[in-house]
Structure 1
Amino acid sequence: MNYEEEDENYSLDDDEQEDENYNEAEVDVQHVTSTKSTSQVITKKSLVAAQKESLVRVMELLSVKENQARTLLIYYQWNVDKLLSVYIDQGKDHMFSCAGLTVFDPSLVTLKKTMNCDVCMEDDLPSDVMTRMECGHSFCNDCWKEHFTVRINEGESKRILCMAHKCKAICDEDVVRKLVSPELAEKYDRFLIESYVEDNKMVKWCPSIPHCGSAIRKIEDDDVVEVECSCGLQFCFSCLSESHSPCSCLMWKLWKKKCVDESETVNWITVNTKLCPKCYKPISKQDGCNLMTCKCGQHFCWLCGEATGASHTVQSIAGHSCGRYKDDKVRQMERAKRDLDRYTHYHYRYKAHTDSLKLEDKLRKSILEKAVSNAETKDQQVFKEYSWVIDAVNRLFRSRKILSYSYPFALYMFGEELFKDEMSDEEREMKKNLFEDQQQQLEGNVEKLSKILEEPFDEYDHEKVVDMKRHLNNLSNAVDNLCKKMYECIENELLGPIQFGIHNIAPYRSKGIEQATEFCAEICQT
C-alpha cells in the first residue's frame, strides 16, 4: 500500500510533527487505566460486603442497630447522603417515622401472665407465645408466622409492616427470622441482600444473558454512563440496553422498536397499496388503469378508493366521479413515503456498519493471534511489541461502533418526532449539514483504518513494519480526534441548546468504555 497517497486528514507536515504524533500514539497504546474508577463490579461474594459497608456507616453515625440501619437505607434507596441530610435537617424522629421505625418504651407496658391476640381472637394466651414489636403491638407467634410467611412468599419481605390496623411500623428482622422456617428465613435474607441492588439507583444488575451474577455500582451520580462488566458485556447504566452512544436512551428505544416491529411494512403498504372498500385487503396497482378489481369482486377507484361500477370509458367510470385529489390525502401519502425513505437511508447505513463491526471483531481476534504468533517466531527486536497494531484495531472497533449508532441519532435528531418545535427548518438543515460533514469525515478515516489493518503485516520486513506502524498511529489519532469533535458538536451545537437534560448521552472515551473495577472490601464485623 502506498501510504504517501493517503488522505491529508492524517498526513504529516514534517518529521518533527510525525514524531510528536508517534509519541502520542505510543502513550495511547499502553492502555493506562484511570487512577479514579467511575464504576465497580460487585460479585455475588462481595455483595454482602458492599451492603455491610453502607450499614456500618449508618450504624456508626446514627448509633442504631443493624436492622434499623437496613430499614432506613431501604426506605432512602441506600442513599446514605440523603439519609443523613434528612437526619440533619428534620431530625431523628421524623427520619424514623418516614421509614417506618418506632422506638417502643417497654416500661410503659404492664407485664401480664396471659394476653389476648386481636388477630386470631384467642384469649388468655401465655405471654411466652406472644411477641411484641418495637411499635408496641403484640400478637401471638402463630399469627405473626402466618403474616411473615405470606409476605415473604409474595415477595414483599423487604418492608414487612406490623399487622395492627393502620400501623406503618416495619417488623424487626430478627423476629422474622426467629418465627419462620429456615428455608423462608434464607429467602428473606436473600431479599434483604438483593435490596442493595434493586432499591439502589447507584447499583444495577449486569443485564448479561445468561446472568453472570454480578452488579455494577456507579461511584459518582452522573447522568449517563456506559460500563463494561467483568463478564465482558458493555451496556448503558441508565436503560440497561447495549451501549448505544451517541444515541440517547430514548432515541435508542425508539430505534430498536422501529427496527423490530412491523411499522415500516405497514408504512410501505400505506404508500403503495389501497384497501378494498368491501373486504379491506390491500391491493397494489399493476398497470395504468385506475379502475381496480379486487379478488372479492369489488370494483373501486384507485384515485380515491371508493367503490364503483364495472364498466368504464377513457373519461369516466360508470356510476362514479371522484373529482380532484384531496390535498390532505396527497400530503399524507407524500409524508409517509418521505418518512419511509429517511428510515431506509439511515437503516441501510446503520446495518452496513454493524455488519462491518462483526467482521472487524473477527479481524481483531485474528490480529491478536497473529501478533502473538509472530512475536515468538520473528526477530524479537522488531516484533517484540505489537501493541501498536492491537491498539489500532481496537480503535477501529470502537469508532465503527460509534459511527453505526450515529445514523439512528441523525434520524431522530433531524426528524420531527422528537424535536419538531425546537428548531426551524433552516436551523435544522444547517445543523444537519454540520453533523453530516463530521460524520462523513469520520466514516472516510474509519474505512482507511480498516483497509490498512487488512494488510499482511506479519509478512513485512522491518522497514515496512515501522512505516505501517507510524501511519496506523497517525490515522488512529485522527479517528480519535474526529470522534471527539463529533461528540463536542452533539453536546454544544445540537442537543445542548435544546434539551440536553432529557437526551443525555454517554461521554466519549478515547480508551473505550471503561471496565468496572472489582469491588474489594473486608466484611465488616459489628
Structure 2
Amino acid sequence: MSADSEDEFMSGMSSEGGFEDGNESDSVSFGEEFEDDEPALDFGLHDKDITSAPKKPYEVDFDVFGPRDIQKYQDKQIDEVGAILGQPPESTAILLRHARWNKERLIEGYMDHPEDVLEKAGLGLAGAVPAKTMVVDGFVCDICCEDEPGLETYAMKCGHRYCAECYRHYLSQKIREEGEAARIQCPGDGCSRIVDSKTLELLVEDDLKDRYHELLTRTYVDDKDNLKWCPAPNCIYAVECGVKKRDLNRIVPTVRCDCGHYFCFGCTLNDHLPTPCALVKMWLKKCEDDSETANWISANTKECPRCNSTIEKNGGCNHMTCRKCKNEFCWICMGVWSEHGTSWYNCNRYEEKSGSDARDAQAKSRQSLERYLHYYNRYANHEQSAKLDKDIYLKTEKKMTNLQSSSGMSWIEVQFLDTASQALQQCRQTLKWTYAFAYYLARNNLTEIFEDNQKDLEMAVENLSEMFEKPTSELAALKVDMMDKTSYCNKRRIILLSDTAENLKNGSWKFNIDINTA
C-alpha cells in the first residue's frame, strides 16, 4: 500500500467503521445475549474517490491490505477495548479473538456477565500472575519427570506448572507444526486456559514469535466475513469486499489483489465472470463426474472434415488449415472457416432438438449428452486456447525485443503486444465461463442477446489471436490494426459482462435448475 492509502486506512478506524462487521452468520458462544443477528457493517477503510469513473455493472467495491495494516488495526482495537474493560492488552486480545473481533457484543456481554465471558474465553477469574520463570524447591515436572535442583519452571494463572523447557517444546509444536496461535491452551490435562502473548514472548525464540504473530493475523482475517486472503501462491495481501453470501446468486464479486491475481471473493476460485458461484460449483462437479467424456472431448487431435487427415492444434487460434488438402475450417464446429466472419457464424449457439427427436429415454439421454458436449467442448477449447495463448504471452517479450531490433521502435512503442496478449487471455477466461453459464440458461429472448454478445466477442478474440501468429517481421505494419482489435475485444467483453450482470442483479435470467439450492 502507498503512504496515502495507509493514512486513509488509519483515519477510517473509528468505532463506527473499520473492521467491525457483525459476522451475521456466525454467533459468538458467550451465551444467548450474543446470539442476535447483527448485520455485518461495511469496513469503510478507504474513502472512495467521488471523482472516479462509475463502476461497470459487473464490478464491485473492494480494498487490499497488507499484514502491517491489519496488525495496526488489531492493536488499535485492543487498546480501545482494554481501556473500557480494564483488562491488560494480552487478555483483551484473547477476549476479542473469542468474540471474533466484534467489540460491541464483547463489551455488552462483559458488562452483563464478566465471569461467564472470561471463563468461556479461556481466561478465568484467578488474579494476575507475573510473566516470569521461577525456581521452585522440590518441583518435579509432570511431563519430563525432571527434578534437578535449580530447574526453571513456568505456570500461568491456572497454576499448572511445568519446566520451562517442556513449555517451550509444547508451544513450538503448537505453532510450528500445528499452525495454532489464537487458541493455544495450557498443557495441563483438561485445562482450557489460553496461552497469552506475554507467556509466549517470554518462552519462545524470535523466529517462532514472528510465526506466532503471522498466524494471529491470519486468524484475524479468517474470522472476518468481509476479509479474505488472496489465494495466489505466496501472496501476503488480504482483500476486503462487502458482498454477502446471500447475494452471490445475483453478483459475481471478482476482485483484483495488489499482486495482480484476479479471483472471486465469494468462492476464491480464479475469475469466473459472468457465471455465479453456485453454477460454477455445479459445472465443475459435472465435468469431474463426466471425466471420461471430458478426456475424449479435450483430445489434442481432430480429423480434417474434407480429407480426414489427423490434425494437431498447436496455437490458440481456431482457424485451422489442413496441410494436406488446404481446407480451412473451424476447430470448434468443424465448419467452413469462411462463414465465421459473416452473419452465418453460429458456432457458439446450441440448436435445440425438437421434442419428436427424443421419444424414448435413450434418445433423451443421447440428446442431453450431445447438449452437454456442445458446451463442454467450447468451454474446454477456450481453456486449452488460453494455455496456448499464455505460452505466446511468455514469448511476447522476446517478440517485443526482436520487433525493436527489426523496426527501430522503442520499448514503449512495442508495448501494444503485451497489452494485446493480456487482453487475449482475459477474454479467453471470460468466454470459457460463458459456456458454463449458457449450459444452465433457460432459453428466452434474453438468451438470444447473450449468445449474440458471446458470438461477437468470440469472433473478435479469434481475429486477435490469429494476428499473434504472424511472423515478427509483419507485426510492425500490423501495430495499428492490432491495437484496434485489442480495444474492440475489450469493448465486446465489457458489453457482454455488463449486460449479463445487470440481468443477473435484476433476476431476469431463468435457469434450468434451482440456483438457490445449488
Which category describes the TM-score, using the shorter chain as reference length? 0.5 to 0.7
Residue 238 of structure 2 aligns to a residue whose secondary structure is strand
* 1:487 corresponding residue in structure 2: 501
Cα distance, 1:236–1:56 mapped onto 2, change above 3 Å: same
- Residue 468 of structure 1, CA deviation: 8.3
Cα distance, 1:106–1:346 mapped onto 2, change above 3 Å: closer
Residue 217 of structure 1 aligns to a residue whose secondary structure is strand
Partner Cα separation in structure 1 for residue 382 and residue 475 of structure 2: 24
* 2:463 corresponding residue in structure 1: 451
Partner of residue 369 from structure 1, selected from 400, 416, 423: 400
Cα distance, 1:260–1:214 mapped onto 2, change above 3 Å: same
Cα distance, 1:388–1:90 mapped onto 2, change above 3 Å: same
- Residue 375 of structure 1, CA deviation: 12
Q: Please say if residues 388 and 469 of structure 1, whose CA atoms lie closer than 8 Å, have aligned partners that are also in contact.
A: yes
- Residue 348 of structure 1, CA deviation: 1.0
Residue 268 of structure 2 aligns to a residue whose secondary structure is coil
* 1:418 corresponding residue in structure 2: none
Counterpart residue identity of residue 509, structure 2? L
CA deviations on 1:162-193 (whole Å, 9 max, x unpaired) are 35665433122322443456776665455435
Partner Cα separation in structure 2 for residue 120 and residue 345 of structure 1: 65
Cα distance, 1:250–1:362 mapped onto 2, change above 3 Å: same
Counterpart residue identity of residue 446, structure 2? L
Counterpart residue identity of residue 91, structure 2? Q
Partner Cα separation in structure 2 for residue 144 and residue 460 of structure 1: 70
Q: Please say if residues 420 and 483 of structure 2, whose CA atoms lie closer than 8 Å, have aligned partners that are also in contact.
A: no
Q: Please say if residues 346 and 407 of structure 1, whose CA atoms lie closer than 8 Å, have aligned partners that are also in contact.
A: yes
CA deviations on 1:343-376 (whole Å, 9 max, x unpaired) are 2111111123334434555666759939984998
CA deviations on 1:368-425 (whole Å, 9 max, x unpaired) are 93998499846x9xx98788887676555433322220111222x24xxxxxxxxxxx
Task: State how 1:54-453 maps to structure 2 within 5 Å.
Answer: 54-63=74-83, 64-77=87-100, 80=101, 82-88=102-108, 91=111, 93=114, 95-102=117-124, 104-105=126-127, 131-134=154-157, 136-141=158-163, 144=167, 148=171, 151-152=174-175, 153-162=177-186, 167-179=191-203, 188-208=212-232, 211-220=233-242, 222-223=244-245, 225-260=253-288, 263-265=291-293, 333-361=362-390, 366=396, 369=400, 373=404, 377=408, 395-411=423-439, 413-414=440-441, 428-430=442-444, 434-448=446-460, 450-451=462-463
CA deviations on 1:466-502 (whole Å, 9 max, x unpaired) are x987787567535422331122223331269997777
- For structure 2, the 5+ residue unaligned runs are 1-51, 130-135, 246-251, 297-358, 468-473
* 1:302 corresponding residue in structure 2: none
Partner Cα separation in structure 2 for residue 448 and residue 267 of structure 1: 28
The share of aligned pairs that are identical, in percent, is: 23
TM-score (norm: length of structure 2): 0.55
Residue 483 of structure 1 aligns to a residue whose secondary structure is helix
Aligned length: 374
The higher relative CO (CA closer than 8 Å, separation ≥ 6) is in: 1
Give RMSD over aligned pairs: 5.2
Higher Rg of the two aligned structures? 1
TM-score (norm: length of structure 1): 0.54
Partner Cα separation in structure 1 for residue 186 and residue 97 of structure 2: 17
Counterpart residue identity of residue 280, structure 2? W
